């Protein structure tokens, strides 16, 4: 088991290095000189020269890359070219907002996706299976930003039940937090629910035809016990590997959902940075996302090894 | 003895391939949801190709006497904030969506497939390098990667297509590589190698035709993802630029008029949903028909 975990770690390190190379190249590809933005309207050549020296832009590109690498390693992800605020500070401000939204979405997705997937697998070939499949396919086909607009239209504009925008932290006012988060969380969670449902269904179908399930039935166990205790428990193992996919889907979905519901989160940070041409923030956010993603992948891999008895003894 | 052509494909093998193709076609035609998906996709393709003839009005023609009018006999889906006919813009918007979906997948396929072929066939350090680079690109969520590329390239439909295409490259690299690894140990490949067929010819004539089915399935499903991605980028203002019509940018404008003109928000979303559903059903149908395990 430990050798497998070490092997996964050994793969994660070069991947991380390549992500950094890639983010550095992306930064070089960006149109316009970032120093021109920093130098202000006058663009005084002396100021430009000082800035160029200060940020090490006068050095050869490979040297610049390693200087930047050293900075990142020490936790400095750069700063906003507009406000000068460190990217880590901006992320620290916006991430809790997105985490609240993501956790709520994930709960909704789990509550819808797993029972529907189990039901579709158990009732395979019946109208219940067809309905569940149709709903999941629709969930994958509806753009979540449009679902958000439609919900705002009906729930907020017509019925006036929930606020159309804004954010309240669950630690400040739990009730108001529920009212502001439930709609965007549903929007973000519906796509995830569809993905989860599809995977749960196929994992359950695989497990349900295995011998030990037949043995459990032959022993005369209750069908609900066979499904929930014997089949679902094992079917959930491969779903762990989905966590990185879901994480990616959550982050990407959050970009659009936060835009529709005007939520000041991580997703809105990157979109605003793109429009303000604040490349320092774009670069920092992309790098942070990639690092988080690689770590998630690593955790999922390790978790998969730990919970899978066959790999545990390997 | 089985007859062998100069490039190493046996006639028996060609017959088996043709039989497999016929079986797949019969299976696809017997699948109602795949056929429904095909009809949906074809409907949108026809609407897009003949948009200029089908659309009742010129899509960018403004009419300041008809600002934000609800659906009526004159304007079936109503008018927008500057009096343009929504139905006409919807029909023309389909061109941008389908075009972006298909072109970006072609970019991803034609960049990703050769890289995957090289990685899978040659193996060694080249494979390790390509695989790690693929992992690195896959480490950034697709839409965030597309936004980063679109930001780097500047907002336009062409750049959005390039951004979406480049963001999808790693998926095709990984898929192609995996398929090559599965096929390269097959007897017909070993045979071709044994008689001295050059690498490039083996990859082109023997490997590619045998790995094409899963790539076609993936490409079809990726068109659906790419259409949503284009709509998302246009919704964020990074795709199709005004006044040209696109479903995403129509929704971007519509969200500012939810109180006064709710109809502006409905139809573009339904159009995106239907065309994406079409490609998803078509892709699922192709996968079922082409998957050898299903046969």
Rounded (10°) angle between helices A266-275 and A242-260: 60
In the three-class reduction of DSSP (H, G, I as helix; E, B as strand; rest coil), residue B237 is classed as coil
Helix/strand/coil (H/E/C) assignment for every residue in B191-234: HHHHCCCCHHHHHHHHHHHHHHHHHHHHHHHHHHHHHHHHHHHH
Please choose, from the candidates A11, A84, A1, the residue with its C-alpha nearest in 3D space to the C-alpha of residue A304. Answer: A1
Q: What is the pLDDT of residues A76-94, one digit of tens each?
A: 888 887 788 888 899 999 9
Percent of chain A with pLDDT over 70: 91
Instruction: Please tell me the predicted confidence (pLDDT) of residue A313.
Output: 58
Top-confidence residue, B195 or A44: B195
Is B136 near chain A, with CB under 8 Å? yes
Name the residue among B139, B272, B274 with its Cβ closest to that of A15: B139
| Closest chain B residue by Cα to residue A137 | B277
Specify the pTM: 0.86
Residues 60-119 of A with CB under 8 A from B: none
Residue A309's pLDDT band, with cuts at 50, 70 and 90, is low
Smallest CA–CA separation between A275 and chain B, in Å? Answer: 8
Instruction: Please tell me the predicted confidence (pLDDT) of residue B121.
Output: 92
Residue A249's pLDDT band, with cuts at 50, 70 and 90, is confident
Instruction: Please tell me the predicted confidence (pLDDT) of residue B1.
Output: 41
Residues 127-156 of A with CB under 8 A from B: 137-138, 140-143, 145-147, 149-150, 152-153
Please choose, from the candidates A187, A175, A209, the residue with its C-alpha nearest in 3D space to the C-alpha of residue A112. Answer: A187
Mean pLDDT for B53-72 is 91
Mean pLDDT for B178-186 is 88
Best to test chain A binding among B41, B128, B136, B288 (most A CBs inside 10 Å): B136
| pLDDT over 60 (residue B293) | no
Instruction: Please tell me the predicted confidence (pLDDT) of residue A32.
Output: 59
Instruction: Please tell me the predicted confidence (pLDDT) of residue B2.
Output: 44
Top-confidence residue, B6 or A239: A239
Top-confidence residue, B289 or B89: B89
Instruction: Please tell me the predicted confidence (pLDDT) of residue B267.
Output: 93
Are residues B132 and A255, on separate chains, in Cβ contact within 8 Å? Answer: no
Integer Rg of chain B from CA: 23
Number of H helices, E strands in chain B: 12, 0
Instruction: Please tell me the predicted confidence (pLDDT) of residue A23.
Output: 82
Residues 227-286 of B with CB under 8 A from A: 228, 231-232, 235-238, 251, 254-255, 258-259, 262, 265-266, 268-269, 272-274, 276-277, 280-281
Is B201 near chain A, with CB under 8 Å? no
Residue A38's pLDDT band, with cuts at 50, 70 and 90, is low
| Closest chain A residue by Cα to residue B139 | A290
Instruction: Please tell me the predicted confidence (pLDDT) of residue B125.
Output: 92
Are residues A256 and B235, on separate chains, in Cβ contact within 8 Å? Answer: yes
ipTM of the complex: 0.85
In the three-class reduction of DSSP (H, G, I as helix; E, B as strand; rest coil), residue A60 is classed as coil
Q: Which residues partner with B79 through β-bridges?
A: B85
Instruction: Please tell me the predicted confidence (pLDDT) of residue B6.
Output: 47
C-alpha span between A79 and A284 (Å, rounded):
8
Are residues A137 and B281, on separate chains, in Cβ contact within 8 Å? Answer: yes
Instruction: Please tell me the predicted confidence (pLDDT) of residue A147.
Output: 95
Which stretch of A217-221, B93-97, B119-123 has the lowest confidence by average pLDDT?
A217-221
Is A309 near chain B, with CB under 8 Å? no
Name the residue among A149, A259, A274 with its Cβ closest to that of B254: A149
Are residues A31 and B266, on separate chains, in Cβ contact within 8 Å? Answer: no
Q: Which residues partner with B4 through β-bridges?
A: B10
Mean pLDDT for B239-243 is 88
User: How does the average pLDDT of chain A come out, rounded?
Assistant: 84
Which stretch of A132-141, A159-168, B59-68, B144-153 has the lowest confidence by average pLDDT?
B144-153
In the three-class reduction of DSSP (H, G, I as helix; E, B as strand; rest coil), residue B163 is classed as helix
Are residues B141 and A289, on separate chains, in Cβ contact within 8 Å? Answer: yes
Rounded (10°) angle between helices B86-122 and B124-138: 150
Please choose, from the candidates B169, B141, B97, the residue with its C-alpha nearest in 3D space to the C-alpha of residue A253. Answer: B141
Residue A30's pLDDT band, with cuts at 50, 70 and 90, is low
Residue A10's pLDDT band, with cuts at 50, 70 and 90, is confident
Structural contact between residues B124 and B206, judged by C-beta atoms closer than 8 angstroms: no
């Amino acid at each position: 088991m430990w050798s497998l975990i070490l092997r996964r770690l050994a793969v994660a390190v070069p991947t991380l290095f390549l992500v950094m190379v890639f983010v550095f190249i992306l930064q070089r590809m960006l149109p316009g000189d970032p120093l021109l933005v920093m130098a202000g309207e006058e663009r005084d050549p002396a100021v430009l020269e000082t800035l160029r020296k200060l940020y090490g832009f006068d050095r050869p590109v490979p040297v610049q890359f390693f200087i930047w690498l050293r900075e990142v390693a020490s936790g400095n992800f750069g700063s906003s070219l507009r406000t000068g605020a460190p990217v880590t500070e901006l992320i620290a401000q916006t991430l809790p907002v997105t985490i609240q939204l993501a956790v709520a979405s994930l709960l909704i997705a789990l509550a819808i996706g797993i029972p529907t997937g189990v039901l579709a697998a158990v009732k395979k070939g019946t109208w219940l299976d067809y309905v569940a499949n149709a709903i999941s396919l629709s969930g994958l086909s509806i753009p979540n930003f449009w679902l958000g607009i439609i919900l705002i239209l009906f729930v907020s504009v017509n019925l006036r039940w929930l606020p159309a925008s804004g954010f309240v932290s669950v630690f400040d006012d739990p009730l108001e937090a529920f009212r502001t988060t439930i709609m965007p969380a549903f929007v973000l969670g519906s796509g995830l629910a569809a993905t989860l449902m599809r995977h749960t269904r196929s994992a359950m179908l695989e497990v349900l035809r295995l011998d030990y399930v037949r043995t459990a039935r032959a022993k005369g166990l209750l069908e609900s016990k066979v499904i929930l205790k014997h089949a679902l428990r094992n079917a959930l193992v491969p779903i762990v590997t989905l966590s990185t996919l879901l994480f990616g889907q959550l982050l990407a979905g959050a970009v659009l959902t936060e835009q529709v519901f005007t939520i000041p989160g991580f997703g809105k940070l990157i979109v605003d940075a793109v429009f303000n041409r604040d490349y320092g923030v774009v670069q920092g956010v992309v790098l942070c996302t990639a690092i988080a993603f690689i770590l998630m992948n690593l955790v999922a891999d390790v978790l998969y090894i730990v919970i899978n008895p066959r790999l545990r003894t390997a | 003895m089985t007859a062998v052509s100069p490039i190493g494909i046996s006639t028996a093998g060609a017959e088996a391939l043709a039989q497999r193709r016929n079986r797949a076609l019969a299976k696809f035609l017997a699948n109602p949801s795949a056929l429904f998906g095909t009809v949906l996709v074809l409907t949108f393709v026809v609407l897009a190709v003949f948009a200029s003839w089908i659309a009742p009005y010129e899509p960018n023609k403004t009419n300041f006497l008809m600002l934000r009018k609800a659906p009526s006999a004159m304007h079936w889906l109503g008018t927008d904030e500057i009096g343009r006919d929504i139905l006409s813009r919807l029909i023309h918007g389909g061109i941008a969506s389908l075009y972006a979906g298909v072109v970006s997948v072609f970019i991803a396929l034609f960049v990703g497939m050769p890289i995957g072929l090289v990685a899978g066939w040659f193996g060694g350090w080249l494979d390790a390098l390509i695989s790690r680079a693929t992992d690195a690109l896959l480490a950034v969520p697709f839409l965030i990667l597309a936004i980063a590329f679109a930001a780097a390239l500047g907002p336009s439909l062409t750049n959005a297509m390039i951004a979406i295409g480049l963001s999808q490259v790693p998926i095709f690299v990984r898929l192609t590589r995996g398929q090559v690894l599965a096929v390269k140990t097959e007897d017909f490949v070993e045979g071709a190698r044994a008689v001295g067929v050059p690498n490039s010819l083996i990859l082109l004539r023997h490997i590619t035709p045998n790995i094409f089915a899963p790539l076609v399935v993936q490409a079809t499903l990726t068109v659906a993802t790419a259409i949503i991605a284009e709509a998302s980028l246009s919704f964020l203002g990074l795709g199709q630029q005004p006044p040209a019509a696109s479903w995403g940018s129509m929704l971007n404008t519509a969200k500012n008029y939810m109180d006064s003109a709710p109809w502006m928000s409905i139809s573009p979303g339904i159009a995106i949903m239907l065309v994406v559903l079409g490609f998803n059903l078509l892709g699922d149908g192709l996968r079922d028909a082409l998957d050898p395990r299903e046969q």
